[in-house]
Amino acid sequence: KVFGRIASAVDQEQLADYLVEIQYALIFAGLGFEVEFEPSGSKGPDLGIARDGQQAIVEIMRFRKIYPGPPMLDLSDENLILPAYGNPPRDIRKAFEKILAKFPQVESQQGIIAIWNDDEDLEEAETGTAVSDIRNDAGKGILSLPSGLLFVLYGSKWIGNKQLYCFPFRRLDQPYQAWKTELEMAMVSDHIRRTLSLSTNAP
């Protein structure tokens, strides 16, 4: 199904959207999850995953590149001044609204919203703040959280102390806390290499 959509992609942006679905499928497979694409059909969530006797759905979205991010710097310039970039209020609102738009796909299922960020102006801090704002609004009764929603899984090309971040919507019980920890412990390339290794060694 996914390769069919890739073959019919109308432009590079849509192609990148589809490739992110495969990337997250490989990440979960590398952690020993059973992974199914479109478990409820084309109108439902992107992935179904299962491990530790539990099932969950994964709804995936990609933040397309809109803003260029920090400019290239000449590190040999003795008078170098780091320029400001980004617009946190704007970027937090963007993340907030895009996360809310995925709520109908989760409904009452145990669910994860997976974001891949290619907008270099927006960072993990803005996404984490957006999740915190959603939790606060839910606590005030301003909006309702899907009953099974677990966390936002955030990733980007940028690698700091880690590359994948999980922002929970509520206190996570086991095995979901273990899932969060394992996702955050490795870089994307490490997760994918593990998947490929498992595939190569399969009987």
User: In the chain, which stretches have pLDDT less than 50?
Assistant: none
Instruction: At 173, list the tokens.
Output: 């019980």
The predicted pLDDT at position 41 comes to 85
Distance CA 14, CA 166 (A): 25
The predicted pLDDT at position 75 comes to 67
Q: Which residues of 82-91 are buried (b: 16+ CB within 10 A; e: fewer)?
A: eeeeeeeeeb
The predicted pLDDT at position 79 comes to 73
Which residues are CB-neighbours of 203 under 8 A, at least 6 positions away? Answer: none
The predicted pLDDT at position 202 comes to 60
The predicted pLDDT at position 40 comes to 87
Instruction: At 151, list the tokens.
Output: 């966390």
The predicted pLDDT at position 85 comes to 62
Distance CA 105, CA 101 (A): 9
Q: What is the torsional sign of CA 87, 101, 117, 32?
A: positive
- Strand, helix or coil for residue 20: helix
Percent of the chain with pLDDT over 70: 90
Model pTM score: 0.89
Distance CA 68, CA 18 (A): 22
The predicted pLDDT at position 100 comes to 97
